[in-house]
Amino acid sequence: MKYFELFAIPVQFDVDLNTINARYLELQKILHPDRHASLSAQQQLLAVQKTAELNDALQILKQPLKRAEYMLAEKHIDIRAEQQTLQDPEFLMQQMELREELSEITDAADPEAAIEQFESHVKALHQDYYAELKKYIDSDEQSELLIAADIVRKLKFIYKLREELERIEDSLFDD
């Protein structure tokens, strides 16, 4: 199933979430298993499967990182389940420094200020990578798609850092 076709939107990274949500509601009404209760068991099962696929499509198109991975996979660069490490030494060094900074937050004299500073730094990185991704992800050029794939890999690191920061915040402030 082609998700962009399903939602009748152009195949591009920037999507209109309002259009996606509206189309989802339309399709959900059509595909919902309750509408097919009078049909055969096989047709009911098919309706359940189609609804599940629709829900998957919605989740992928709504989330920028998943949408980028999906778009790359559709162009034969599937990085969704890979365990490949980046070969960018500068980025890897930056990640080591960020992880060290993150690990020092709990022992900081002012953990709230340390969290704010770290959050700000990670947010800026996220915005930079996101802007860079938008330059390459819609391309049909293999070389540009490979650049986009590396940017997605970098964004995955950023998302993990954000999740770890949330866990640290929870452990520090949820007493």
- Per-residue model confidence as pLDDT tens digits over 102-121: 999 999 999 999 999 999 99
Owning domain of residue 31: 3-62
Whole-angstrom distance, CA of residue 155 vs CA of residue 153: 5
pTM of the predicted protein model? 0.85
Is residue 37 included in any domain, yes or no?
A: yes
Would you state the structure tokens that stand for residue 113, as one six-digit string? 């200020």
Is residue 147 included in any domain, yes or no?
A: yes
pLDDT digits (tens, 9 = 90+) for 87-101: 788 998 999 999 999
- Residue in 96, 69, 111 with CA at minimum distance from that of residue 157: 96
Is residue 75 included in any domain, yes or no?
A: no
Is residue 83 included in any domain, yes or no?
A: no
Residue 14 neighbours by CB under 8 Å, 6+ apart:
134
Residues 140 and 101 in one domain: yes
Task: Output DSSP code: residue 22.
Answer: H
